[in-house]
Every structure is written in structure tokens, then in C-alpha cells.
Structure 1
Amino acid sequence: MKKLLLLMTVLLINAASYAQIETPVKWSYAAKKLSNNEAVVFLRATIQDGWHIYSQNVGDGGPIKTSFKFTPTKEYTLVGKTSEPTPIKKYEDAFKMNVTYFEKTVTFQQKIKLKAGNVAAIKGQLEYMTCNDKKCLPPEDVDFSIPLGK
């Protein structure tokens, strides 16, 4: 009985060592004050080779597009929509449609109008989905807080 219990424990530990959480995308953030009442925030994804994340402008029926939700506050308002560089456009069999996506790195930008004199940080949440040529990972939500320098 003890040998069976020991064998089961070794098998469970061995199986757990193979289960790794894949995180092919790392996010970083920065902000730059343009004037006393305007700033821009930068949300940068660094993507491992072979993986990609989707544009904010993916059509219906496709993958989960990258999206940004900024926490409402009286300290600032958003100026326009979050901008992105020109994405790669390609037909993907998995979705049976043309999709737009980014590889390696992408920096999204959001202009902010500051209403209060000293805004400490711009906060919110982003959602994205990442895929490679074999699989897609479940969509991920990431909270962010971007310090706004003086």
C-alpha cells in the first residue's frame, strides 16, 4: 500500500512539473505629459516569436480583439479612441476570415485631457487574445495603473 501511495505521489509531481502556464505576451506602460492639461499613455505588448495578438478592429465572428477600458474619473477624460499602428492582415483558417494582428511588439496610445492639476495615475483594464499557428490561448484581462509624471 505504501509503495502504491509513493508511486501515485511521484506521478502527480511529475505531471505537475509538465503543466506550465504559457505567457507569450508581456505588457509595459509609460506616460508622457504634453502640457499641463494633456498627456498620452503608451501600452506596449512584447510578444514572443511565433505568437500574435489581435488588433482592436477585428470583425464579428473572429478572435477576441484587443480592447482597453479606462477607469472613469473626474480627473481626466479620454481624447478620441486608443490608436494603434497598421496591423498585419491575413486570412486565418481557424476563423474563416481575414484578421488583423501584431507580432513581436506593438504600442497602443491614448491621449488624455487632464482636468485636475495633479493626476497620479491613469488606471484601467485591457483584454487581449494571443494565438500561434497551432492554438489560441484563452482571452486575458490585465489591470493597469500608469503613473503620470509631473
Structure 2
Amino acid sequence: MMKKNIFALMMLLIFGAIGVSAQMQEPVKWKFEIKEINQFEVQVVAIATIEDGWKTYGLNVPEGGPVATEFTFEDMVNAKELKKPVEVIKPTVKHDEVFDMEVPYFKHEAKLSHNVRITKRPATVKGYLTFMCCDNETCLPPTDVEFEFQVK
């Protein structure tokens, strides 16, 4: 019994330390905007600022590569996801040494958008963006960044 408690405590300390160190590094910062296309459609725009030496990945990453950037919409009111997300700034596609494959990635800046149909006003557009970032030596775990907008 005592060995199990000590093992559980050690695992908690190890994973806690990993979590704290991962949280301290934030090489990619996202901000979100909403743009009105017309009375029935809005566009969620995600803009990333990426520190030198780091990159984040595009929307269409090959199987077996890093985690692709992805929009997820949930708990929306009077709104529905429309079309597919778009890379407003086109990613660079090159051989990635970490994954040993051709992957689309962004350095310095990324800009993505996703259209949403407004079925009735007021509406709530809500969800999160999942992304992964790497430098030439390491990758941080995939991260979710939440967004929410009220469309009146």
C-alpha cells in the first residue's frame, strides 16, 4: 500500500513539473477577430504571432506528421459552421526534419479564417482552435485556445 502511494506521489510530481514547464513556454500567441460578411454570415479570423525559431502547422498536414491546426465549434447558439477553414496566409511547405516529411508550417505569423452561418440574431459563435508548435529540437503538446463572440 505504501509503495503504491509513493509511486502515485512521484508520478504526480513528475507530471506536475512537466505541466508547469510546458505552461511557461508560449512561443505562439493567438488572437481572434470576427468579421461580418453579410447579415447571414460571419468569419472567425485567428491570427498567430510566432516567436523566432518556432513554427506552427497548417490546416492540411499529412498522416503521421505533427498535429494540424484545427477549428472546433461547440455550444453555438443560432449559428452553424460553414464551409472549410482557409489559410489566409499561405504556409511554407518544406521537409520537416523533426517529422521527416513534407509539412505545411508557419513561421513568425499565421492567419486562418472559418466562416459561420448566422441563422438568427443574436447569436453566439464559440469554439476553440487546436494547434501544435515545434522548434528544431522539441515540440510542445497540442494546445487548445478558446474563442467566443456575440453577434447582435
**Which band: TM-score by shorter chain?**
0.7 to 0.9
Matched, 1:22 2:64: no
TM-score by length of 1: 0.79
Instruction: Write the letter of the residue equivalent to 1:81.
Output: K
Deviation string, structure 1 residues 50-87 (Cα, Å, up to 9, x no partner)? 11100110101111111110115451112201111321
* Aligned 8 A contact 1:30 1:147 in 2: no
Corresponding residue of 2:95 = 91
Corresponding residue of 1:35 = 38
For residues 68 and 132 of structure 2, the distance between their equivalents in structure 1, rounded to whole angstroms, comes to 7
Offset of residue 147 of structure 1: 4.0
* Aligned 8 A contact 2:46 2:113 in 1: yes
Corresponding residue of 2:80 = 77
Corresponding residue of 1:8 = none
Corresponding residue of 2:115 = 111
Secondary structure of the residue aligned to 1:43 is strand
Offset of residue 48 of structure 1: 0.8
For residues 23 and 75 of structure 2, the distance between their equivalents in structure 1, rounded to whole angstroms, comes to 36
Q: Which runs of 5+ in 1 are unaligned?
A: 1-17
**Matched residue count:** 131
Deviation string, structure 1 residues 113-147 (Cα, Å, up to 9, x no partner)? 1101211x311011111011121111112222134
Matched, 1:127 2:136: no
Instruction: Write the letter of the residue equivalent to 2:149.
Output: I
* Aligned 8 A contact 2:76 2:125 in 1: no
Q: Which runs of 5+ in 2 are unaligned?
A: 1-20
Corresponding residue of 2:12 = none
Superposition CA RMSD, Å: 1.9
For residues 22 and 150 of structure 2, the distance between their equivalents in structure 1, rounded to whole angstroms, comes to 35
TM-score by length of 2: 0.78
